[in-house]
Structure 1
Amino acid sequence: MAASEQLPKTFTGKVLLTGGTGFIASHVLDYLLDHGFDVVVTARSDEKGQRIVKSADQSVGKKVSYVVVADIAKEGAFDDAVQSDPPFDFVIHTASPYQLHFDNPVADCLDPAIKGTTGILKSIKAFAPTVKRVVITSSSAAILSPPNHRKVYDESSWSDVTWDLAMNPQHTYRASKKFAEKAAWDFLATAQPNFDLATINNTYTFGPVPRSLADPSNLNTSNRRIFDLVKGHMREAIQPTAPVFTFVDVRDVALAHVRAMTVPEAGGKRFYVVGGFFSNPKLAGIIRANFPALEGRLPVEGDDDFPADHWAFDNSRSKEVLGIEYTGLEKSVVDTVESILRFEE
């Protein structure tokens, strides 16, 4: 029996969800509320917290609130946030910087990712003894080792990026995900807290933009290429797809977080969450076929740049333990485009 068939439809309990304004967190919030949880989200300001709460479906609006955590890298940043009445049962930590250009790799990315992760684990151990499990959003960046790719990647894989290489902004993000996740597992081994841990290592993530997003131009990095196609930014020349040719739908990622939190067997495991392959020409083709009115914004049809010798992935653990049934590329892209076009109405 699949894990999804073993789960009750509704739950009771309280969840702290960090990084509440983020793309993935917005969908995690929806799934948590749909499953019956009470949720407190963290935000960097009152304005952002209020926007998250207002974006929630009014039928469950009373089950979501927010707390301000202005700087996740600050010592003790989560000490107050993890304390609640009634107390928390679970924590989902999604807060971490995701960008590809940094003025100061350590201050702008590595510290927030690593200290934010170990900091919240320390706070939970010290001030939230009722928490049973913590789920952390890691990344496929903590798994992949470009250009020295394995033939097949799974949860046993760890990136070969080094700290010295992380000082090169080109490698800073993927290094931050590796070292933050490593720090989390090391904390569990040495501190031996009351809670256990699961990590979600998702790849490039497409899907509907958050309702709380004030400006679609600020959407997540993965969706940017779909946005650029829709807005005609690739009309003259389609951008190369490299370096990432794997995708997953954000709703599958969100559900994976909730399942990793609730399925007993998920504790102590990493989950490589990847739905399939894509390329920019494939994205353009899906948009062309489903949105003929956008033809004038799209690049002319050309050769696909998907490499013939691309490595493979093994996502069987996420299917078997979490019961994830992955969304196909076409549905993910169509739903993403529709959510972007709503901003033009």
Structure 2
Amino acid sequence: MARVLLTAHVLELLLQHGRYSVRFTVRSREKAQRLFEAHEQYRSKLEYVVVKDIAQPGAFDEAVKSDPPFTGILHVASPFHFNVTDPKTELIDPAVNGTLGVLKAAKAFAPSVKRIVITSSSASIMDPNKPNNGAGYAYTENDWSPITLEEGLLNPLSGYRASKKFAEKAAWDFVEREKPNFDIASINPPLVFGPVKPYVSSLSRLNTSNERVLSFIQGNAKNGAPPPSVYLWVDVRDVALSHILALENPEAGGKRFFITEGYFSNQKIVDVIRKNFPQFVAGLPEGESNGGYPQDLYKADNSRSKRVLGLTYRGLEESIRDLVQTLVELGVDEEVSRV
């Protein structure tokens, strides 16, 4: 049985594949307990290590030591929130230091590891300041965001974008410089939608992308769905699968993967909710003739993910429908009825 270290929560598919035992890292024992409870049937294949601060030197040293040894690592943990006052210390440094910490620990203490898959972001690929929405430009894995450290310090959103670019850059530079016993692959998704994981116990614990869908359901877009800052998306289940495929496929080593189904708009999300959940229609705006898209827009080339990983993508309607259904199960109907 292959053994994998997971630094966040791509658990379901790893366990369902049946050939992995997993050690995952968490910041508290309470969080570990919630994960155990959500995956009770796989308890014999699970263990955890508490890593309170991924940015601390040596944070992952003990986590990577294992008998039997690990063959792979999925590094998914990185700060992603906008409630910050100092983008460098709260976003950029933890992302860079956490990524380098995993790589350094694996090189020093886990010679059996052959592949590390790192969750990066489309933010390390795309340039949001391209004129005219980047119309006519096709982004690929060869692109790197031009954001500078100085720009990353301006506000939380820029800080997040900088954190993803500099953390991923640091990983590729480390492999080139240190020549470790492993290679790496990066997963670069844009906004991620899809069903809420079973250990999410309340509506207050949603990720940033899914929070916008909850906001629409709560009636916060009655006067029209605002345009998103990025028009690309992917389902969370496809992101999870891409990590496993990148871990298992020898050809994936040394490659970045732009993981995106294609375009979405906030209005398209609203349209899916209106179609499938009539109880929320009163708080949702009517559709727009152009679906809420600008007249001209950049393109995104996801062909490498299909060709190398063999990935196929879920459509937006399935993803949003499944997401809203899990929100209903968490009690969003009752919350909306009180508004």
For the criterion TM > 0.5, the same-fold answer is yes
Partner of 2:141: 155
Deviates more, 1:259-268 or 1:225-234: 225-234
Partner of 1:263: 249
- The answer on whether the counterparts of 1:53 and 1:66 sit within 8 Å (CA) in structure 2 is no
Letter in 2 for 1:240: P
Separation in structure 2 between the aligned mates of residue 64 and residue 229 of structure 1, nearest angstrom: 37
Partner of 2:306: 319
Corresponding residue to 2:92 among 94, 110, 118? 110
Corresponding residue to 1:48 among 16, 26, 31? 31
Partner of 1:135: 117
Letter in 2 for 1:223: N
Pair 1:166-2:149 in alignment: no
Letter in 2 for 1:40: R
Letter in 2 for 1:299: P
Partner of 1:121: 103
Corresponding residue to 2:16 among 34, 41, 50? 34
Partner of 1:4: none
SS at match of 1:110: helix
Identity over aligned pairs, percent: 48
Closer, same or farther: CA 85–46 of 1 in aligned 2, 3 Å: same
Partner of 2:269: 283
- Name structure 1 gaps, 5 residues minimum: 1-11, 20-24
SS at match of 2:209: coil
Partner of 1:90: 72
Pairwise CA distance, 1:220: 0.8
Partner of 2:336: none
Corresponding residue to 1:66 among 48, 51, 62? 48
Partner of 1:78: 60
Separation in structure 2 between the aligned mates of residue 61 and residue 321 of structure 1, nearest angstrom: 32
Pairwise CA distance, 1:223: 1.1
Letter in 2 for 1:147: N
1:210-229 aligned at under 5 Å gives the runs 210-229=197-216
Separation in structure 2 between the aligned mates of residue 95 and residue 298 of structure 1, nearest angstrom: 34
Letter in 1 for 2:7: T
Deviations 1:270-306 (A, max 9, x none): 0000001111111111111111122123234445431
Deviates more, 1:242-251 or 1:97-106: 97-106
Separation in structure 1 between the aligned mates of residue 65 and residue 251 of structure 2, nearest angstrom: 27
Deviations 1:237-278 (A, max 9, x none): 334122111110011100000000000100000000000111
Partner of 1:18: 7
Letter in 2 for 1:132: K
Letter in 1 for 2:95: A
SS at match of 1:60: helix
Partner of 2:219: 232
Letter in 2 for 1:59: Q
- The answer on whether the counterparts of 2:116 and 2:184 sit within 8 Å (CA) in structure 1 is yes
- The answer on whether the counterparts of 1:206 and 1:250 sit within 8 Å (CA) in structure 2 is yes
Separation in structure 2 between the aligned mates of residue 206 and residue 110 of structure 1, nearest angstrom: 24
Separation in structure 1 between the aligned mates of residue 46 and residue 214 of structure 2, nearest angstrom: 30
Runs of 4+ in 1 over 4 A off after TM superposition: none
Deviations 1:204-263 (A, max 9, x none): 0000111111222221111111111223232x3334122111110011100000000000
Letter in 2 for 1:175: A
Pair 1:203-2:190 in alignment: yes
Separation in structure 2 between the aligned mates of residue 175 and residue 259 of structure 1, nearest angstrom: 27
Deviations 1:146-193 (A, max 9, x none): 121370001001000001101111311001000000000000001111
SS at match of 2:47: strand
Separation in structure 2 between the aligned mates of residue 60 and residue 322 of structure 1, nearest angstrom: 26
Partner of 2:279: 293
- The answer on whether the counterparts of 2:113 and 2:181 sit within 8 Å (CA) in structure 1 is yes
Separation in structure 1 between the aligned mates of residue 323 and residue 47 of structure 2, nearest angstrom: 27
Pairwise CA distance, 1:130: 0.7
- The answer on whether the counterparts of 1:238 and 1:280 sit within 8 Å (CA) in structure 2 is no
Deviates more, 1:284-293 or 1:147-156: 147-156
SS at match of 1:325: coil
Deviates more, 1:181-190 or 1:97-106: 97-106
SS at match of 2:274: helix
- The answer on whether the counterparts of 1:284 and 1:298 sit within 8 Å (CA) in structure 2 is yes
